[in-house]
Amino acid sequence: MDQHGIFKSVCPLDCPDQCGLLLHKVDGKVVKVEGDSEHPVTKGNICNKVRNMTERIYDENRLKYPLKRVGAKGEGRFERISWSEAIDTITSRWKSLIQTDGPESILPYSFYGNMGRLNAEGMDRRFFNRLGASQLERSICNSAGTAGYRYTMGGSFGTDPEDTIHSKLIIFWGINAASTNMHQVVLAQKARKENGAKIVVIDVHKNQTGRLADWFIPILPGTDSALALGIMHILFAENMVDASFLQQYTIGYDELREHVIQYDPTIVSEITGVPVEDIYKLARMYGKTSPSFIRIGNGPQHHDNGGMFVRTISCLPALTGQWLIKGGGAIKGNSGYLALNSSKLQLPRLLKNKQTRVINMNQLGEALLTLNPPVKSLFVYSSNPAVVAPEGNKVRKGLEREDLFVVVHDLFLTESAKYADIVLPATSSFENTDVYTSYWHHYLQIQQPVIEPYGESKSNVSVFRLLAKGMGFEEAAFEETEVEMIKQAINQVPNPYLDGIDYETLIKKQYVKAKVKPLFPGKLRTPSGKIELYSKRMKANGHPPLPTYIPIVHHGDHPYHFIPAPNHNFLNSTFSNNQKHISLEKEPRLHMNSKDAGACDIEDGDLVRVWNQRGECLLKVSVGENALPGVVVTQGLWADIEGTKQLVNTLTPDRIADMGGGATFFSGRVSVEKIYSAI
């Protein structure tokens, strides 16, 4: 491995942009991370978070060795142990649990702390399939929306973002793209500059993205489907629909036309808080501008009705025939184009058709506290459930259980790791070999190790290889190298968009684009092969077959709707423990409308208690007009440093959304009371 030089790399974070990076290495260390100007989409621009990545990978608190707990659970006192002691402790405990309680007493808990496909969902899946452990339903992020989009469009296939520079109207619908998908904003701004495109933002919070819009439309939480149905009402009533597209490429447009008559703009205005004249203005703008493009965000699908939200919005481009126009359409997610060979990567056959139980990751606390037969061991990797999962107090109570054997594999002693019996140090992605697929742009990328593993840290792939050995698993699948795994995953994939793409090409080119062609003319993967405005499959699954507004659950008497969204300088809880990123973000704030604040004598900078039946937080208030009355908003999943009480997920519900087992982080309610005034 060269000790000096500039190396191509890829951003490993769970962010749609999946930027190309250049790592500058001096004396064996990465000294600078910059964007790779040769990346066809991200073109050398990267965000602040990753420009400061060296602060994280060389943070003095990064884990160097395996640890065992010597203090109480949650206290954070640990002692160094060797890898062999760590693996022996884990595997002997698991062997005895399998004897006494069966393999389903063991539960993996992971998400996309690192998006590399081998490390995020490769060797781990092989291992837990072979073990016959309980399965985790990984539905904390976008699964409700993905299910909703699939009903309409047949899978995660949308517009090519590179084409959106041709769009004349760009709607950011429930996405804080300036923070969470910055290159879509760059493309939109290019379209604005070169084409006179208009940028519209529809959100419950006028945040970084709302502030750059030509038109910001504030909306009440969880009511977006009603707005979309109101737009459809006007599109049909004023004959702004593309009849020939509807006829050729959709089913159910006659039913839909009849159905949306009930969504009169006056009624929609009452539901959404959007003035009637604005509903007309938006519908006419959408009906008359082409190409128009909707970037469908994750925010509104983190509600009780989140699946139906995406299902409904995704009907809009069909009504105006936008899918036939370059730069028109929508993106919810584009992962379908880059689907790898997951059965070869994950080897579900190792499960031998056993029907092991499935536990929804959004209900971790409930599962740890109430499941029978109980979960006796939890293996957490690439995720930080003590901060990111809803019903945070239940999660911690579960993690405190004396009879629960917890292992956490991470780069840091996260809040979750503090509850572990054994902590294992993880490599950063720059130390690994892996393959990456974006869920927004259409490029496959490769990571080869640029630096040596930090201390004694190991990648997820290596850890699961060691665990397999410790358990005595003899399948060759656990011996495979990373390169062999990548070949299994990408060579001869049953996905026409990846035809002819192989490992060798990827190594040579670093960025390889899927062979994407327009969706139409063509057949979708819906039962009818068309866009399903009416879905029999939804009906069979107990949903209204036509797009429908279903109000979110109104639970408890708390006056404010609570939206605890992500922030600019962290990525979920990643970076919330790195001083540089904390100092950029400063402190968590509760954004409150001035009318609400005035009514309870709260002023800017005051400390308030935010509480409900689940828990409480102490936060400083920002008073202004950025949130509507009745709505309070926070940004960022802040670490719960002792005594600060800033863990927003102590307040969020673990109800499951309408589709896909999704999370409902934004459908909760809270009360707010002043503790003391700003000095």
CA distance 409 to 426: 6
Q: Which two tokens stand for residue 423?
A: 């902590």
The β-bridge relationship of strands 607-612 and 358-360 is unpaired
Member of 7, 8, 9, 19 binding ligand SF4 (CB under 6 A): 19
Query: Which of 129, 499, 101, 570 lies closest to 350, judged by CA?
Result: 129
Q: Single out the segment in contact with ligand MGD by CB under 6 A; choices: 159-167, 201-209, 269-277, 325-333.
A: 201-209
Give, as one character, the DSSP assignment of residue 205.
B
552 touching Mo ion, by CB under 5 A = no
Q: Helix crossing, 460-471 with 123-131: angle to 10°?
A: 30
Rounded-to-integer distance, Cα 23 and Cα 31, Å: 8
Q: How far apart are the first and last CA of the chain?
A: 55
C-beta of 19 vs 331, nearer to ligand SF4: 19
CB of 432 to ligand SF4, least distance (A): 16
Of 56 and 125, which has the nearer Cβ to ligand SF4? 56
Range 223-282, binding ligand MGD (CB under 6 A): 224
Q: Element (H or E) spanning 97, and its range? A: helix 83-101
Backbone angles phi, psi at 306, to 5 degrees: -65, -35
Q: Is 185 in the site for ligand SF4 (CB under 6 A)?
A: no
The DSSP element (H or E) to which 607 belongs, if any, is: strand 607-612
Nearer of residues 436 and 464 to ligand SF4, judged by Cβ? 436
Tell me if 363 contacts ligand MGD by CB under 6 A: no
Among 141, 315, 406, 420, binds ligand MGD (CB under 6 A): 141
Instruction: Give CA–CA dist 120/464, Å, rounded.
Output: 11
Which among 137-145, 301-309, 469-477, 527-535 is the span making contact with Mo ion, rule CB under 5 A? 137-145
> Measured between alpha carbons, how far is 429 from 448 in angstroms, rounded to an integer?
9
Is 22 a binding residue for ligand SF4 by CB under 6 A? The answer is no
* CB closer to ligand SF4 out of 8 and 130: 8
How many Å apart are CA 246 and CA 114, to the nearest integer? Answer: 41
Angle at the Cα of 552 (from 556 to 210), degrees rounded to 5?
Answer: 110
Site string for ligand MGD, 294-323 (x = CB under 6 A): ---xxxx-xx--------------------
Minimum gap (Å) between residue 638 Cβ and ligand MGD: 10
In terms of CB distance, is 30 or 501 closer to ligand MGD? 30
Q: Is 384 in the site for ligand MGD (CB under 6 A)?
A: yes
9 binds ligand MGD (CB under 6 A): no
Binding ligand MGD (rule: CB under 6 A), the pick from 41, 131, 140, 310 is 140
Contacts 24+ apart (CB under 8 A), 653-656: 653/390, 653/391, 653/555, 653/614, 654/362, 654/363, 654/365, 654/366, 654/389, 654/390, 654/391, 654/394, 655/304, 655/553, 655/555, 656/139, 656/360, 656/362, 656/363
The H or E element containing residue 169 is: strand 169-173
Report the candidate in 300, 295, 180 with the shortest Cα–Cα distance to residue 563: 300
Is the four-CA dihedral 124, 428, 81, 466 of positive or negative sign? Answer: positive
CA–CA distance, 617 with 608 (Å, rounded to integer):
8
* Phi and psi torsions of 501, nearest 5°: -90, 130
Angle at the Cα of 326 from the Cα atoms of 323 and 327, rounded to 5 degrees: 90
Q: CB under 6 A: which stretch of 14-22, 455-463, 632-640, 650-658 binds ligand SF4? A: 14-22
Name which position in 104, 163, 242, 410 contacts ligand MGD (CB under 6 A): 410
Whole-number Å distance between alpha carbons of 621 and 636 = 14
Among ligand SF4, ligand MGD, Mo ion, none, the one that 182 touches (CB under a kind-dependent 5 to 8 A) is: ligand SF4
Number of residues that bind ligand MGD (CB under 6 A): 59
User: Taking the complex as a whole, how short is the minimal distance between the CB of residue 76 and ligand MGD, in angstroms?
Assistant: 15
- SS3 state of residue 315: coil
Q: Which of 18, 250, 414, 667 binds ligand SF4 (CB under 6 A)?
A: 18
573 binds, among ligand SF4, ligand MGD, Mo ion, none (CB under 5 to 8 A by kind): ligand MGD
25 binds, options Mo ion, ligand SF4, ligand MGD, none, Cβ within 5 to 8 A by partner type:
none
Give yes or no for a contact between 606 and 619, defined as CB atoms under 8 angstroms apart. no
Give the per-residue contact string, 149-188, with ligand MGD (x = CB under 6 A; - = no).
-------------------------xxx--xx--------
Give min distance, CB of 445 to ligand SF4, in A. 11
Residue nearest to ligand MGD (CB): 299
For residues 586-597, b (16+ Cβ closer than 10 Å) or e, as one string? Answer: eebbbbbbbebb
What is the number of other CB atoms lying within 10 angstroms of the CB of residue 457?
Answer: 23
Query: Among ligand MGD, ligand SF4, Mo ion, none, what binds residue 126 when CB lies within 5 to 8 Å by partner kind?
Result: none
Our finding on whether 205 is near ligand MGD (CB under 6 A) is yes
- Decide: is 460 part of the binding site for ligand MGD (CB under 6 A): yes
Q: How many residues bind Mo ion (CB under 5 A)?
A: 1
Residue 438: CB minimum distance to Mo ion, A: 14
Under DSSP, the state recorded for 486 is H
| Helix ranges (DSSP H) in 400-531 | 460-471, 482-490, 503-509
46 binds, among ligand SF4, ligand MGD, Mo ion, none (CB under 5 to 8 A by kind): ligand SF4
Q: Are strands 169-173 and 422-425 parallel, antiparallel or unpaired?
A: unpaired
Write each residue from 71 to 110 as x if it is in contact with ligand MGD (CB under 6 A), else as -, in one continuous string. Answer: ----------------------------------------
Per DSSP bridges, beta strands 78-80 and 422-425 are: unpaired
19 binds, among ligand MGD, ligand SF4, Mo ion, none (CB under 5 to 8 A by kind): ligand SF4
471 binds Mo ion (CB under 5 A): no
Q: In the bound complex, what is the minimum distance in angstroms from residue 48's beta carbon to ligand SF4?
A: 8
Options 105, 114, 320, 535; binder of ligand MGD; rule CB under 6 A: 114
Q: Residue 457 binds which entry of Mo ion, ligand SF4, ligand MGD, none, with Cβ cut-offs from 5 to 8 Å by kind?
A: none
- Under the binding rule (CB under 6 A), the answer on residue 444 touching ligand SF4 is no
What number of other Cβ atoms are within 10 A of residue 99's Cβ? 8
15 scored as a contact of ligand SF4 (CB under 6 A): yes
Among 146, 289, 382, 447, indicate the residue that binds ligand MGD (CB under 6 A).
382
Residues 139-168 that bind Mo ion (CB under 5 A): 141
Among 47, 63, 375, 446, binds ligand SF4 (CB under 6 A): 47
- Distance from the Cα of residue 300 to its chain's centroid: 13
Based on the shown chain and the rule CB under 6 A, indicate whether residue 208 belongs to the binding site for ligand MGD.
no
Residues that bind ligand SF4 (CB under 6 A): 11, 13, 15, 17-19, 46-47, 49-50, 182
Residues that bind ligand MGD (CB under 6 A): 14-15, 111-114, 119, 140-142, 174-176, 179-180, 202-205, 207, 219, 221-222, 224, 297-300, 302-303, 381-384, 388, 409-412, 414, 426, 460, 563-568, 570-574, 637, 648-649, 652, 665-666
Residues that bind Mo ion (CB under 5 A): 141
